[in-house]
């Protein structure tokens, strides 16, 4: 784990996981319209892939 300028912990994996969870909670609160359902599915997939891409980038860096 690295630290940023303010000496606060900076863990990108934890932050992207929290982001994905926050997005899911947000989408659950939206009215159940056809547009919100379809857009919500895409938003949830995109928010989850951010964490996966972070892990992949770390693995490639180690190789």
Long-range contact pairs involving 20-28 (C-beta distance under 8 Å, separation at least 24): 20/44, 20/47, 20/48, 20/50, 20/51, 23/47
Which pLDDT score, from 0 to 100, does residue 53 have?
Answer: 80
Domain ranges in the chain are: 32-63
Query: What does the block give as tokens for 53?
Result: 């891409």
Residue 56 sits at the vertex; the CA angle it makes with 55 and 62, to the nearest 5 degrees, is 95
Query: What does the block give as tokens for 31?
Result: 């009215």
9, β-bridge pairs: 3
Q: What is the total residue count of the chain? A: 63
Helix, strand, or coil (residue 28): helix
Which pLDDT score, from 0 to 100, does residue 9 have?
Answer: 60
Tens of pLDDT, residues 6-63: 555 668 888 889 999 999 999 999 999 999 999 999 999 999 998 778 777 777 777 7
Which pLDDT score, from 0 to 100, does residue 54 have?
Answer: 75
Query: Is the pTM of the predicted complex or chain greater than 0.75?
Result: no
């Amino acid at each position: 784990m690295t630290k940023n300028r303010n000496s606060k912990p900076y863990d990108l994996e934890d932050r992207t996981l929290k982001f994905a969870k926050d997005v899911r909670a947000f989408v659950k609160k939206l009215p159940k319209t056809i547009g919100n359902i379809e857009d919500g599915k895409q938003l949830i997939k995109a928010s989850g892939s951010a964490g996966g891409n972070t892990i992949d980038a770390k693995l490639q860096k180690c190789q």
